[in-house]
Structure 1
Amino acid sequence: MPIRLGFIGLSTQGWASLGLVQPLFHPLLASKYTLVALCTRSEVSAAKAAQKYSELANREVKAYYGEHGVTELVHDPEVDMVAVSVKIPDHYAIVMQVIDAGKDLFVEWTPGNGYEETKRIAEAAKAKGIRVLVGAQGYQSTAVKKVKEIVDSGKIGRVLSTSILLTSAEEILLWGSKTTESGRYIHDPKNNTTILTILLGHFLVVLDNVLGEFGELTSSGAIRFPTGQYVDNEGRPTGEVFHSSSHDQVALSGTLRGKHDGTFVNIHCRAGVPCAGQRARGRRMFQWIIDGEDGTIEVKNRESDGQWGAFFTFTEKDVYLNGDKIELDEKGVNELGQAGKAWLEFAKGEAGQYTTLDDAVRVHRTLDAAAVSISEGKRVAF
């Protein structure tokens, strides 16, 4: 019997519409999930979204809206699992409702607004005995799995260090010199929608999976775009200026513990750099190097990646072993994309491999430690 899914934050546009729900209608997933309900902020948007997805699902999709709609969807007896894709500051209250109702849960990254919230969510979910899929889909990347396979095989020997360059392109309209009105809240670090928690956070889920977690770290940040312009959805300036107190440059260095104990890590995250046009000539948006005693792995973004070059979530990457390009299998299940593969893994039950709340807690502990290191200028050990 398919999992009956209710989706909070699903409209006709935005990330949930473009990246999360579309794979559910693929033949490989259509028999495993059924979209039965959705909830948006307004009655108008909910009705519009319900019409669109009823046509795609070939069945009626219920439309809920507003705060009362969230509660009604969560307690709808026809909903087995609830997906939550709203702004991070709103995650906790909604997610805890889902957990209290005993429903399985999908929650977009980051699950909670910081380490403590994420830890409380994880503890509550464990006590209730529900399963939770966390939306850090880079875990499913074919390139990531190949890198992990090479490292685990011992082909490059003992891992000595790893270096990473992560770029949030100017065209994404986050953390740089331009943003849309809907991105207003990202400029306040208290909302935890920062280059640290999003860009770095998504990558740390991948790093944690391939090499392990940090044992100690130091971090620093800078604001190169203290002011910027609001633009409309076509990129035209609205005339309004914003002021940001959120870092757009972050560096993190430290060593790992566990299986690859002592491996030195150096990460640079940057925002506001163009990925297209004359100003982008010669720039690389993403690069990941893993150096071992007997060899080296390099992962690069593809030219076709565009503004999403630094995210495994959206696009695949090219993998090189000792300078030779590795051919990746990108057919079959891989046609689902990272989000689709995560849904597929979750549907396998306990046998599935996907990002869990335990993974999120570990990564959030690192992110909070990095924030402490930036603000207090000190090394943080776990």
Structure 2
Amino acid sequence: MAPIRVGLIGLSKTGWAPIAHLPYLKATDKFEIVAVQNSSVESARNAIKLHGLSESTKAYGSSEDLANDPNVDLVVCSTRVDRHKECIVPSLKAGKDVYVEWPLGKSLADAEEISSFKKQDLAIVGLQGRQAPIIATVKDFIASGKLGDVISSTWTGYGGMGGDVAQEEYAYFADKSVGGSLLTIHSGHALDWVQKALGSTFESTKTHALLANRRPIVKLTKADGTVISDKHPKTNDDTIFVHGSLASSVPVQFTMHGGPPFKGNPALDWRILGSKGELRVTASGVFLQIGYPDQKIEFFDASADQVTEVSVQTDKWDETLAQPAGNVARVYELIAGDAEARKSLCSFEDAIERHRFLESLEG
């Protein structure tokens, strides 16, 4: 079977595309990168050379030119969220399949506008935490009955970003108008896989939130720590409290803090209380869709008064690819599969519902 021909938007020297998308795309025979689009043709050519792609790979500096390439089957967009619309709408209009990173748009209205141009069945958004083995393990453990009936769940995380210091490279993260924030990205990913693991979605009428920007002025620094400004404005919220009930009636409390965790404590502490004990998931970061070497699941068996570690499921991608690329690889494998397999992916329609829920939390 001929490989699916990929046009990749946003292949820079560093960032998400080279560490998460490229490892799988260069290793598989199910896909082939035939084009790269960056901010300019020169930038795209440099990326092609830097990452050792074929000399036949086309270099584009505009989304329209990429959309007009008849040799591109699937357009993959890995750019800042406020650039998603300009990058993928031409390909949507052209009827090409599209895979774009989460969030779909910089707002609900933006996401709805992007989706309005969709003509094809395969238009998906990268909420790849759904494919993470650690989430599958939690879901299967609950289904096994060892936890008993799920009583409640509490999730506490520290986003790293959103604290009192912002690095120049991520200065846009302080600007609410861009659309990338602790709410949309950190919480958006986490709330999606929490709901998937627990097997039910939040009931909007029984969910409430308190959001606050407690650090309206932050320090802006270079990557090496050199201070650029002591008074950089921040308009995004850095404190997110959500509590509500799932459709299954399970109460959930979700708390996201900006900045680092208490020294020596995990950045993520997720508990699922059951009638027979409690499941605890910990990690040094909140992005389980990326993965961490120290991520861990533990089970407290109340009747035995004993804590044991739960083995996380693994597959070949855990053995062949570094953690940032593993779950993205699983997304690509589903894209290359049949229509039934693709149902577990996040469609544009599904993403809009996620956007709608997040905006409802802002009141």
TM-score in terms of structure 2 length: 0.88
Q: 1:328 corresponds to which letter in structure 2?
A: V
Distance 2:296 2:87 in 1: 38
Contact 1:137 1:312 in 2 (8 A): no
Q: 1:163 corresponds to which letter in structure 2?
A: T
SS of alignment partner, residue 272 of structure 1? coil
1:124 Cα deviation after fit:
4.2
Q: Deviations over 1:330-377 (max 9, x none)?
A: 3523334111111112211313233332332232222011111xxxxx
In the alignment, structure 1 residue 156 sits paired with structure 2 residue 147: yes
Root mean square deviation, CA, Å:
2.0
1:241 Cα deviation after fit:
3.2
Residue 45 of structure 2 is matched in structure 1 by 47
Q: Deviations over 1:86-105 (max 9, x none)?
A: 22122123332221111111
Match of 1:298 among 272, 280, 297: 280
Q: 1:231 corresponds to which letter in structure 2?
A: T
Q: Deviations over 1:226-267 (max 9, x none)?
A: 21222223232224631112111111001111xxx2111101
Q: 2:77 corresponds to which letter in structure 1?
A: V
Distance 1:359 1:209 in 2: 13
Residue 314 of structure 1 is matched in structure 2 by 290
Task: Tell which deviates more after alignment, 135-144 or 91-100.
Answer: 91-100
- Which ranges of structure 1 fall in alignment gaps of 5 or more residues? 275-279, 373-382
Distance 1:14 1:288 in 2: 27
Q: 2:159 corresponds to which letter in structure 1?
A: S
Contact 1:39 1:70 in 2 (8 A): yes
Identical columns (%): 27
Match of 2:195 among 208, 212, 220: 208
Residue 60 of structure 2 is matched in structure 1 by 64
Distance 1:325 1:95 in 2: 43
Task: Tell which deviates more after alignment, 33-42 or 207-216.
Answer: 207-216
Contact 2:63 2:86 in 1 (8 A): no
1:25-44 superposed matches below 5 A: 25-26=26-27, 30-44=28-42
Distance 1:44 1:25 in 2: 22
Distance 2:124 2:347 in 1: 6
SS of alignment partner, residue 220 of structure 1? strand
Q: Deviations over 1:81-137 (max 9, x none)?
A: 101122212212333222111111110110122233334444543xx2330231122
1:183 Cα deviation after fit:
2.5
Residue 368 of structure 1 is matched in structure 2 by 359
Distance 1:273 1:281 in 2: 8
Q: 2:31 corresponds to which letter in structure 1?
A: Y
Residue 351 of structure 1 is matched in structure 2 by 340
Distance 1:119 1:155 in 2: 41
SS of alignment partner, residue 50 of structure 1? helix
Residue 304 of structure 2 is matched in structure 1 by none
Q: 2:332 corresponds to which letter in structure 1?
A: W
1:287 Cα deviation after fit:
1.0
TM-score in terms of structure 1 length: 0.84
Residue 245 of structure 1 is matched in structure 2 by 235
1:168 Cα deviation after fit:
1.1
Distance 1:324 1:95 in 2: 46
In the alignment, structure 1 residue 99 sits paired with structure 2 residue 86: no
Please list every run of at least 4 consecutive aligned residues from structure 1 whose deviation after the TM superposition is greater than 6 angstroms. Answer: none
Match of 1:82 among 67, 70, 75: 75
Contact 1:166 1:199 in 2 (8 A): no
Distance 1:361 1:230 in 2: 33
SS of alignment partner, residue 21 of structure 1? helix
In the alignment, structure 1 residue 334 sits paired with structure 2 residue 318: yes
Q: Deviations over 1:260-300 (max 9, x none)?
A: x21111011011126xxxxx532220011111223321111
Q: 2:209 corresponds to which letter in structure 1?
A: S
Task: State how many pairs are aligned.
Answer: 344
Task: Kindly indicate which of the two structures has a greater share of residues assigned to helix.
Answer: 1
Distance 1:224 1:273 in 2: 15
- Which ranges of structure 2 fall in alignment gaps of 5 or more residues? 301-306
Distance 2:4 2:55 in 1: 15
Contact 2:96 2:120 in 1 (8 A): no
1:218 Cα deviation after fit:
1.0
